[in-house]
Amino acid sequence: MSKGLAILTSGGDAAGMNPAVKCCAEYAAQRGYTPYLIYDGLRGMVEDNIVLSSRDLLSGILHRGGTILRSSRCKRFFDFEYRKQAYENLQKRGINHLVVIGGDGSFRALNQFYHDFGVPFAGIPATIDNDIAGTDYCLGVDTALNVIRSSIDSIRDTASSFSRAFVIEVMGRHCGYLALSSALSSGAEICLVPEVPYNLDQIGARLKMEIDDGRRYVLAIVAEGTQMASYLTRWINDSIGMEARLTILGHVQRGGSPTVHDRVMAYKFSIAAIDALDAGLTDAIMVYRDGSYNHLPIHSVADAKYVLDPLLLRLAGPLGN
Ligand code: F6P
């Protein structure tokens, strides 16, 4: 039986996707697979944007941010008719294994595809949100945190020069991981995340005491999932009496050359993903948990909710009070 294996990146791009693509294709070839690359994520699978992998396509991509395979959020993939089209595109090339590098929405889509047509897949967690259940780490998080850290360091320069407060909104969708980690690593005074109840009265009392004690500027990190960034900026200005500005970091957080950590994690997840397919697993998601690499069946990832590290919550949670 031919062993064709195709790699795609899907959902929000994340630094580390490119080293993962490269490593998956190269290691799959070593294991006797014929590697293919699917461009434009699930949309490319439907639209037949699939090419045989080659050294040329994989050269010079390690250090690049985003994904050279490009990505998409493809609603059409919810329709059986389009999934069938995608299956036919794989079948005519003898592709009977898939590696998807993306978030849990992409894993669910591939699981549906597996149930429809029996094409086994392995998932590599990649999203700056770090919100996938069962894994402590998703590709792209370290790079995003470093982009955020560098931005906050710059904002601190102007905040301290002007004795102002800065509210900085970070991404994460419904997850507060980026906000909590960034608040801790940048020594922010306030951090609001969706998972932790916050209390503006208590924050206000604390800040007023600190201002009386000599604090001249304030940094507040707000997770986008709280939708509190604009309100908090006005509140600091009006209730605390400190001139406040808002910075929404936005998509800059998704860019940048992958850090060493993201490159090495990409390799480790990739080897594990190909090994999982080689071992005959059909719906394995790679996870990194408590310092070890493992894999979980899709249902234990898709049916569970990501839980924030309790120690991180203990350290940064009080910044919401
Ligand atoms: O999932 C990654 C992410 O960057 C989220 O943090 C953010 O909410 C969302 O994607 C933005 O999506 P889009 O790039 O489609 O605007």
Nearest-10 Cα torsion for 239, 221, 196, 194 = 100
CA distance 217 to 129: 28
Alpha-carbon Rg of the chain, whole angstroms?
A: 22
Annotated catalytic residue 262: no
If we measure between CA atoms, which residue out of 189, 181, 183, 192 comes closest to residue 261?
181
Q: What is the mean pLDDT of residues 96-100?
A: 98
Q: Which residues line ligand 1 (CB under 6 A)?
A: 12, 127-129, 171-173, 224, 254
pLDDT in tens, 14-24: 999 999 999 99
Catalytic residue among 13, 104, 129, 131: 129
Q: Which CATH number fits domain 141-254: 3.40.190.10, 3.90.1150.10, 3.40.50.460, 3.90.550.10?
A: 3.40.50.460
Q: With contact defined as beta carbons under 8 Å apart, do 229 and 260 qualify?
A: no
Q: Tell me what pLDDT residue 2 has.
A: 82
Centre of ligand 1 from the C-alpha of residue 88, in Å: 30
Higher pLDDT, 11 or 2: 11
Centre of ligand 1 from the C-alpha of residue 289, in Å: 24
Side chain identity, residue 220: A
Centre of ligand 1 from the C-alpha of residue 12, in Å: 6
> φ and ψ at 220, to 5 degrees?
-125, 125
Q: What is the mean pLDDT of residues 132-151?
A: 98
If we measure between CA atoms, which residue out of 2, 5, 1 comes closest to residue 24?
5
Q: Tell me what pLDDT residue 89 has.
A: 98
**pTM for the full model?**
0.97
Q: With contact defined as beta carbons under 8 Å apart, do 269 and 127 qualify?
A: no
Atom 13 of ligand 1, nearest CA residue: 12
CA distance 279 to 319: 46
Nearest atom in ligand 1 to 254's CA: 4
Nearest-10 Cα torsion for 111, 113, 118, 119 = -90
pLDDT in tens, 71-91: 999 999 999 999 999 999 999
* Residues 4-140+258-305, CATH architecture: 3-Layer(aba) Sandwich (3.40)
User: For residue 141, how many C-alpha atoms fall within 13 Å in the half-sphere facing its CB?
Assistant: 24
Neighbours of 227 (CB within 10 A): 12
Q: With contact defined as beta carbons under 8 Å apart, do 138 and 16 qualify?
A: no
Nearest atom in ligand 1 to 253's CA: 4
pLDDT in tens, 228-255: 999 999 999 999 999 999 999 999 999 9
The pLDDT mean for the chain works out to: 97
CA distance 177 to 133: 13
Backbone angle region of 23, left / alpha / beta, with phi > 0 → left and psi within -120 to 50 → alpha: alpha
Chain-centroid distance, C-alpha 87: 27
Q: Do domains 4-140+258-305 and 141-254 have the same CATH topology?
A: yes
Q: With contact defined as beta carbons under 8 Å apart, do 114 and 284 qualify?
A: no
Instruction: For the chain, give every domain's residue range.
Output: 4-140+258-305, 141-254
Neighbours of 170 (CB within 10 A): 32
Q: With contact defined as beta carbons under 8 Å apart, do 218 and 236 qualify?
A: yes
CA distance 242 to 111: 51
